[in-house]
Structure 1
Amino acid sequence: MSQDNWKEEAGATPQAATDETAGMQKAQQTVLDNLVNSVVKEQRASRRWGIFFKLLTFGYLFFLAYLFLASDKLQLGDGASSLSHTALIDVQGVIANKENASADNIVSALRNAFEDNGTKGIILRINSPGGSPVQSGYVYDEINRLRGLYPSIPVYAVISDIGASGAYYIAAAANEIYADKASLVGSIGVVSAGFGFVELLEKLGVDRRIYTSGENKGFLDPFQPQKESEVEFWQTVLDTTHQQFINSVKQGRGDRLKQDPALFSGLVWSGEQALEAGLIDGLGSSSYVAREIIGEDNIVNYTLEESPLERFAKRIGAGAVEALSTQMGFKGAPLQ
């Protein structure tokens, strides 16, 4: 290689390096610009989604407020009518505290119906296997109290598929009881059931340890052998409750009851058999009683039900509510 050529190549090297550096800087700038643009776009999208969720949450809250006001209005006015009518109250499902057929719900509906000047008669439409004797007793006593305050408003119980145990307890407070010929009626008795795991624990080699203050505090423990004295005592509790049930039925039904001890044995009867035994007064539906017995076929339902707000809250679920609250920055407990 000649000296001139060496100088020419040597002189070109710094220029090539400069061009390469410039290219790298340009590429880095391009990457940086793309990154910045991506971050900006992501921030804009995040802000838009944030605004969307906030608007959605506000809309949800306004909707809940609307349902709350609407439900209050319905509960205050849905069962009230100045026109002549038959009041209908459903007793559906298990009779227990916090259930639809709780004493609180049934009693509140009864009071609303009795206090309405347009009520000509009240029908308790029963479809229940029974439940708590305490809840049933509350309703029974309140029916008798209200009948005393409003003697001109009769109460009729109408059993559809089943009116047994605590449900019949409630029905016995009515002026008259009606059912279908195939309805199941009665079951005037008290039951208490459980399991014993003593032998199972022995096979597993598990030692049950229980510490109490009070000689009988752990009585009827399913993991301990039964004591005859405890069983006898518990039977007296059941017998006492059963006798309370019998007394209430006899007080409500009076001479209409057939003198047959089997009526109070816990057996259940068909509507046709119940009529012969004096457990009911006739065969017929709610519309039949309203039309033919009360003489007013305009029926107004006074049954207390879940408000639209409560139903909507259950459907959407606590998880969805919590997610919306998080989007708004709220960290409080979700709606229950």
Structure 2
Amino acid sequence: MSDEWKGSNSEAPDPKGDDRSWRLLEKTLLAGVQEQRRSRRWGIFFKLLTFAYLIGALVIFTPLMDLGKGGGSRSDPHTALIDVQGMIADKEAASADNIVGALRSAFDDAKTKGVILRINSPGGSPVQAGYIYDEIRRLRAEKPDIKVYAVISDLGASGAYYIASAADQIYADKASLVGSIGVTAAGFGFVGIMDKLGVDRRTYTSGEHKAFLDPFQPPKADETLFWQGVLDTTHRQFIASVKQGRGDRLKDKDHPELFSGLVWTGEQALPLGLIDGLGNASYVAREVIGAKDIVDYTVEDSPFDRFTKKLGVSMANQLAMWMGFQGPSLR
């Protein structure tokens, strides 16, 4: 046996060494797969735990949130409370559908001794406010034993005061802002900017005045006069409704600024006859209606919706995804 053969034979691969390397690589790969599986299991566990926590909190705290809304029971004589909060407009919390629905529920309850509209609103749509105004007067005529009281907290202006004027009596805090009996329509004009940029506005219409509110075209005198007539007509309707609702309680119906759109504090509004007294909802329920227990009839979001809103948008979206509720998505 030559030395050359021995040298070449000594450098040959060791089958046992290769086998050990493969076993080590296999163990490493298996360990990685097992670690991924454990991570996924823990991830699912924590998601389920979070989901259970949220559902548990919903079950526990939703009744507590409802308990704090008045403390009264519909099975006992009570004062019905309806909140008119925020903008009075379609699809808003203070929409005519919501307020009218709550009013009908309150009037249909045999245990209702009086109704309080607790108002904190800058106004809104004259159509929505008019719908609520008419329904208050209809329900009052149908069931005259149930009185309606408007209680203004921070603000009862414009369309909100329109609604309040349909009540039997109006109360406010001495610092509440009351009134703003007027109509407004605002917009912007971009004609100057368009001229500076050298951009032409090309509008094609069928009808001479179809585009008369187009902010990219200069206003025309006859169209401005027409639009002012629309606002004046709406204002007259507003004034007539307030006079009808308040009647002789308005101390000076010819006051030069009463229907000018100005607002007054509750203390100033009282001698003008815009309100009947100073007080909050609890005071009216206890001292005026004589039923201190208050039951809230306000139409609200479902408990689930209220709860998810408090969690925040991102958490609500994650919860909805886990529960299988998918919103719009880009695909």
* Amino acid in structure 1 at the alignment position of 2:167: A
User: What's the offset of the Cα at 1:61?
Assistant: 10
RMSD: 3.3
**Residue matched to 1:263:** 258
Instruction: Classify the secondary structure of the residue corresponding to 2:140.
Output: helix
C-alpha separation between the residues in 2 aligned to 1:222 and 1:335? 33
User: What's the offset of the Cα at 1:201?
Assistant: 0.9
2:225 corresponds to 1:232: yes
Q: Which has the higher helix share?
A: 1
**Residue matched to 1:3:** none
User: What's the offset of the Cα at 1:212?
Assistant: 2.1
**Residue matched to 1:297:** 292
Instruction: Classify the secondary structure of the residue corresponding to 2:204.
Output: coil
Mapped contact 2:72–2:293 kept (Cα < 8 A): no
| Equivalent of residue 209 in structure 1, options 202, 210, 215 | 202
**Residue matched to 2:326:** 333
Mapped contact 2:309–2:316 kept (Cα < 8 A): no
Provide closer, same or farther for how the CA distance between residues 108 and 60 of structure 1 changes in structure 2, counting only shifts above 3 A: farther
| Equivalent of residue 189 in structure 1, options 182, 185, 208 | 182
Q: Where in structure 1 are there 5+ consecutive unaligned residues?
A: 1-5
Instruction: Point out the structure with max Rg over C-alpha.
Output: 1
* Amino acid in structure 2 at the alignment position of 1:300: V
* Amino acid in structure 2 at the alignment position of 1:172: S
User: What's the offset of the Cα at 1:310?
Assistant: 0.5
User: What's the offset of the Cα at 1:154?
Assistant: 0.6
Normalising by structure 1, we get a TM-score of: 0.83
Instruction: Classify the secondary structure of the residue corresponding to 2:117.
Output: strand
| Equivalent of residue 27 in structure 2, options 19, 26, 33 | 33
C-alpha separation between the residues in 1 aligned to 2:29 and 2:163? 74
Mapped contact 2:58–2:307 kept (Cα < 8 A): no
Instruction: Classify the secondary structure of the residue corresponding to 1:242.
Output: helix
C-alpha separation between the residues in 2 aligned to 1:247 and 1:102? 22
User: What's the offset of the Cα at 1:82?
Assistant: 2.2
Provide closer, same or farther for how the CA distance between residues 222 and 316 of structure 1 changes in structure 2, counting only shifts above 3 A: same
The within-5 A match list for 1:121-160 is 121-160=114-153
* Amino acid in structure 1 at the alignment position of 2:81: L
C-alpha separation between the residues in 1 aligned to 2:271 and 2:161? 16
Mapped contact 1:64–1:309 kept (Cα < 8 A): no
Provide closer, same or farther for how the CA distance between residues 79 and 306 of structure 1 changes in structure 2, counting only shifts above 3 A: farther
User: What's the offset of the Cα at 1:10?
Assistant: 2.7
**Residue matched to 2:301:** 306
Q: Give the number of aligned pairs.
A: 323
Instruction: Classify the secondary structure of the residue corresponding to 1:14.
Output: helix
Mapped contact 2:122–2:159 kept (Cα < 8 A): yes
1:52-92, CA deviations, whole angstroms, 9 ceiling, x for partnerless residues? 3784698589779969x989x99xxx986121111121212
Provide closer, same or farther for how the CA distance between residues 38 and 289 of structure 1 changes in structure 2, counting only shifts above 3 A: closer
* Amino acid in structure 1 at the alignment position of 2:274: L
* Amino acid in structure 2 at the alignment position of 1:27: S
